[in-house]
Amino acid sequence: MPPRNKVFDLPQEVREQLNERLVSSGFQGYEALAGWLSERGYNVSKSSVHRYGQDLQEEFEEAMGDVRKTTELARAMASEGEDESGHLIDATARIVQDQLLRISIAMRKAEHEPDVAAKHLSSVTKALADIGRVSLSQKKWAKELRVEVAKEAAEKAETSMATQGMSRAAIDAIKRDILGIA
């Protein structure tokens, strides 16, 4: 087993600064970063910084891929002209549910230490239930928001139509149409 990378021995705040510098430099300039650490009194080789940077870059790209996938899923879930931000929570919940289901399947297949697997499966089940509640709350909030927006639109339309001399029957019919959208 290779020795632990010296970057992990750095204080947390220095490692966070290093992470920021790695991301902002596009994961390049390892020699300069090793020099920056040396100026602060930390003896970490360029190779160690490079290995650490490569691992961080892989994690970063994987996370960014998940963000892109979630955003695309939210965009696909939103109908044309609809704000996709409300669907972002639902899309994230679906992706997390998928991940948790994969974990639970893997745990069921792992036959060693059934007590540990059962405990972890219980945690996964609770997480799935929590995600379901978040998703339902988001959907309820989105529906309430649509109703509120439709009510405001109907009130504005009513005022505008009344000032233009439209009949009460026509105004009421248009309001019903607007409120029926919600």
Task: Give tens-digit pLDDT for 5-33.
Answer: 888 889 989 999 998 999 889 989 999 99
C-beta of residue 27 within 8 angstroms of C-beta of residue 51: no
The Cα–Cα gap between 97 and 131 comes to: 7
Our separate counts of H helices and E strands in the chain read: 6, 0
SS3 content of the chain, % helix, strand, coil (to 5): 80, 0, 20
Res. 85: pLDDT tops 80: no
Token pair 């360029």: residue: 46
The Cα–Cα gap between 53 and 60 comes to: 10
Domain boundaries, the chain: 1-77, 83-182
Q: Which residue has the higher pLDDT, 169 or 72?
A: 169
Res. 173: pLDDT tops 70: yes
pLDDT tens for 93-123 read 777 767 766 766 666 666 556 666 667 667 7
